[in-house]
A = this chain, B = another copy of it.
Amino acid sequence: MPKRIHLVASLALGVCLILSGLAGAQTDPLPSWNDGPAKQGIVKFVQAATDSSSPQHVPPAARIAVFDNDGTLWSEQPMYFQGFFAFDRVKALAPKHPEWKTQQPFKGILENDMKAVAAAGEKGLVEVIGATHSGMTTDEFAQTVKDWVAQAKHPRFKRPYTDLVFQPMLELLAYLRANGFKTYIVSGGGVDFMRVFAEEVYGIPPEQVVGSVGETKLEMRNGKPALLKLPKINLVDDKAGKPVGIHRFIGRRPVLAFGNSDGDQQMLEWTAAGDGLRFMGLVRHTDGEREWAYDRQSSIGRLDKALDEATQKGWTVVDMKRDWKVIYPFQK
């Protein structure tokens, strides 16, 4: 670039940065968060991370922030939403599987007999996931999820599942990105499931979604290569699998991690064990009216050991009832 043009460009760019800085100072980046230790802790962390004169400054490339999905970015009651998807798929596929009429847990799903489904345990669940998440190409599966997201409704709120995302967490994601963080999902949910809606709903592109992975196999379909989804697990991205998934997909240690359950404990520990500035957060479901209240005794999203560790180590615990002005975007 010729020197004079370069100078003018630099000045112009400087003006942009100063103006956007002034504008930013006037706006609360987290309007749905009540003032309190959680919000203050987040803002303090972001300010220290981005202040290049701070000894705690985090270089832009290292600004990796990871978020659990179920119970952290959206609700997970009365069942993980991907479970509702699987059950709806069993119902849709039932005409092709007459044997399911007598075979648990499929029989229970078709008859809405949740006791029978629960009795089939984890082995039953794996069978249901296998039957509904394999045997098609990745493109076909993505289309099925897209169609389901567009029409399925949550039983309590009678709204699309993707309406049940947490407004304060959307603000946190945007705030982090505006400050140069790369935001990732690191969830036990299926990666092929979440990637269908993560960009539209959370602003998180497919390549920043880490989740449980099923094996796929390349084959030709109508003269074109396609990836067939197989009923075989490659990675369970939960508990001790979360650091494995983070290392495998991202290849660096996050500086911020947010979860809500014991399934996130190892991810928070993995994040905490790095050098320099860190932020570990837990969303605690304390609002039985606006959302759900559950912790140590819940079979879905149990928060017990991770809560003890958070208390002990001073991690940030977000109390949904106390800390959040609204829960869902439609309540704004």
Interface residues of A (CB under 8 A from B): 1-2, 5-6, 8-9, 12-13, 15-16, 19-20, 22-23, 61, 64, 138, 182, 191-192, 195, 199, 205-209, 213, 216-218, 224-225, 227, 234-235, 240, 243-244, 247-252, 266, 269-270, 273
- A12 adjacent to B23 (CB under 8 Å): no
- B12 adjacent to A8 (CB under 8 Å): no
Docked complex Cα distance between A16 and B270 (Å) = 41
Specify which chain B residues have a CB less than 8 angstroms from the CB of A251 in the assembled complex. Answer: 191-192, 195, 206-207, 209
Specify which chain B residues have a CB less than 8 angstroms from the CB of A235 in the assembled complex. Answer: 234
Contact A23:B5 (CB < 8 A) given known A216-B247, A225-B269, A266-B218: yes
- A248 adjacent to B19 (CB under 8 Å): no
Docked complex Cα distance between A207 and B182 (Å) = 10
Docked complex Cα distance between A61 and B250 (Å) = 18
Specify which chain B residues have a CB less than 8 angstroms from the CB of A182 in the assembled complex. Answer: 207
- A252 adjacent to B207 (CB under 8 Å): yes
Docked complex Cα distance between A99 and B249 (Å) = 36
Docked complex Cα distance between A3 and B156 (Å) = 42
- A19 adjacent to B9 (CB under 8 Å): yes
Interface majority SS (helix, strand, loop, mixed), chain A: helix
- B19 adjacent to A199 (CB under 8 Å): no
Specify which chain B residues have a CB less than 8 angstroms from the CB of A5 in the assembled complex. Answer: 19, 22-23
Contact A250:B207 (CB < 8 A) given known A218-B240, A244-B218: yes
Docked complex Cα distance between A80 and B244 (Å) = 27
- A12 adjacent to B1 (CB under 8 Å): no
Specify which chain B residues have a CB less than 8 angstroms from the CB of A191 in the assembled complex. Answer: 248, 251
Docked complex Cα distance between A251 and B266 (Å) = 25
Partner of A19, one of B12, B227, B250: B12
Query: Which of A12, A192, A213 has its CB near the most chain B CB atoms (within 10 A)?
Result: A12
Specify which chain B residues have a CB less than 8 angstroms from the CB of A249 in the assembled complex. Answer: 207, 249
Specify which chain B residues have a CB less than 8 angstroms from the CB of A224 in the assembled complex. Answer: 273
Partner of A247, one of B8, B15, B227: B227
- B138 adjacent to A247 (CB under 8 Å): yes
- B19 adjacent to A16 (CB under 8 Å): no
A32 vs chain B, min Cβ distance (A): 20
- A199 adjacent to B61 (CB under 8 Å): yes
Partner of A16, one of B9, B205, B206, B247: B9
